[in-house]
Structure formats: C-alpha cells, structure tokens
Amino acid sequence: MLKHSDMTEEARLVFEVVPHTMEVTVNEVAECTYLTEERCQLILTQLAMAGLIKENIKGNTFQNI
C-alpha cells in the first residue's frame, strides 16, 4: 500500500485529509470527508494497522506520518 494503488477512493480521501502537522479526531475527519464516523473509524484503524498513519489511542486521535 505504499503506492496506495489498492486503496479505495474512500480510504484515499481519508488518508489525504489526515494532516502531518497535528492530530485529528474521527469526528473531524468525518466532517471533512462527508463519511460516517463509523466508516472513518474503520478506515483510520486500517491505515494505522498498515503503518501509514499514527494512532493515539488515549486521545483517540490520528496523525499522518
């Protein structure tokens, strides 16, 4: 997934919304992408598991790396 060729359009959109400079919540990502919070949570978790973004479990926030 380093080339992001097998990402869905929704996952690509979520990945592009998560900034490098600050952490964002699932709600903030959902507002920017017009996806449900549940869908964003799933995609963000998958991106974190793939090592493409960093997840702060205590703060329930995400940041692009």
Q: Which of 42, 24, 22 is nearest to 32 (CA)?
A: 24
CATH at residue 43: 1.10.10.10
When pLDDT is cut at 50, 70 and 90, the band that residue 59 belongs to is confident
Q: 27 falls in which pLDDT band (50, 70, 90)?
A: very high
Task: State the residue range of the domain holding 24.
Answer: 9-64
| 24 contacts 8 by C-beta, under 8 angstroms | no
16 in any annotated domain: yes
Whether 17 is covered by a domain: the verdict is yes
Residue 28: inside a domain: yes
Q: Is residue 51 part of a domain?
A: yes
In-domain check, residue 43:
yes
- Sequence-distant contacts of 6-15: CB under 8 A, at least 24 apart: 10/35, 10/39, 10/43, 11/43, 11/46, 11/47, 14/40, 14/43, 14/44, 14/47, 15/47, 15/52, 15/53, 15/64
Higher pLDDT, 60 or 18: 18
| 2 in a structural domain | no
Number of domains in the chain: 1
The answer to whether residue 3 scores a pLDDT higher than 80 is no
| Predicted confidence (pLDDT) at residue 1 exceeds the cutoff of 60 | no
Is residue 3 included in any domain, yes or no? Answer: no
Task: Kindly report the pTM of this predicted structure.
Answer: 0.85
